[in-house]
Structure 1
């Protein structure tokens, strides 16, 4: 399992709901947490590792030792949002790219945990931002889609570099030659 970078087509896929929490889902969640920590992230969504179902892992503290801050969320949905704030945001599928993104300040999220229990979480600020970012991934929405014109303009070189690296990987046979990015 590895994290794919933009413009990999998996990042634009709309994920299907998880129908049953089986061994594969549990293994994927554990591997995703390991990858997230290895890349020093706060969250990781299934399409970022080319899985096509609704699974997110999060650690709101970003600390592997803080297991109490970990959440494995299956089929998460935002059921309520309030307020607006703009803050710095990045993404493990866009290494080195950070921009100020406008998001809801507070969200209420419902999801299932690995035991199949329905959970609800109300949170604000960074935790709310993480939820919104990761749930967007499950719908094929990327943080670059949330950028305003100025942020897009100032990010154009970073995005171009990622697109060039994707093309180079295809040419070197690391990705299928017929794999077309979904921009």
Structure 2
């Protein structure tokens, strides 16, 4: 399992709700945390590892040395959002690309944990941004979709390079046959 780069089609596919919390889901979550830390991320959504289920892993400090700040979200939803703030954002499926993106300043979210318990969290600033970014992944939405026109223009050469690299990987056979991104 690896983090898939843009424009892998899994990144544009709407994830299905999790119906059962089983051993396979626990293994998926464990591997997602490993990949997130390996790539120095704050969050990772299942579609980013080509898994079409509504699962997120996050650590708001980004450090595996702080497991008490780890968060698993199964079938998460944003219940409320307030305010608006623009800040710098990146994504593990777009390594090295950072642009300013406008998001809600505060969100109230609801999700299930790995024990199947429903929980709610109200958060703001960076933590709210992480939640919104990762939940967008579950809906096939990417941070490049949220960029301003100016940010999109600035990022265009990098986005084109991601497309070219992915096309090269397809031709090399790094992905199964039949995977073709929709631009």
After TM superposition, give the deviation of residue 173 of structure 1 in Å: 1.1
- 2: distance between equivalents of 1:58 and 1:175? 26
Quote the residue 2:51 is aligned against.
51
What's the secondary structure of 2:47's corresponding residue?
helix
What is the TM-score with the length of structure 2 in the denominator?
0.99
Conserved in 2, the CA contact under 8 Å of 1:76 and 1:135?
A: yes
Structure 1 runs (4+) greater than 4 angstroms displaced:
none
Shift of 1:182: 2.2
Q: Match of 1:25? A: 25
Query: Take 1:177 and 1:98, find their aligned partners in 2: how far apart are those partners?
Result: 31
Give the root-mean-square deviation of aligned CA atoms.
0.7
Distance, in Å, in 1 between the alignment partners of 2:176 and 2:40 is 28
1:164 aligns with 2:174: no
Q: TM-score, normalised by structure 1?
A: 0.99
The yes-or-no answer on 1:123 pairing with 2:101 is no
Distance 1:21 1:177 in 2: 31
SS at match of 2:2: coil
Following superposition, the deviation at residue 178 of structure 1 comes to 3.0
State the match for 2:10 in structure 1. Answer: 10
Write the distance in 1 (CA, Å) between the matches of 2:114 and 2:179.
33
Counterpart of 1:104? 104
Give unmatched runs, 5+ long, in structure 1: none
Deviates more, 1:47-56 or 1:169-178: 169-178
**What residue ranges of structure 2 are gaps of 5+ in the alignment?**
none
How far residue 177 of structure 1 moved from its aligned partner, in angstroms, is 4.2
Give the deviation of 1:148 after TM superposition. Answer: 1.0
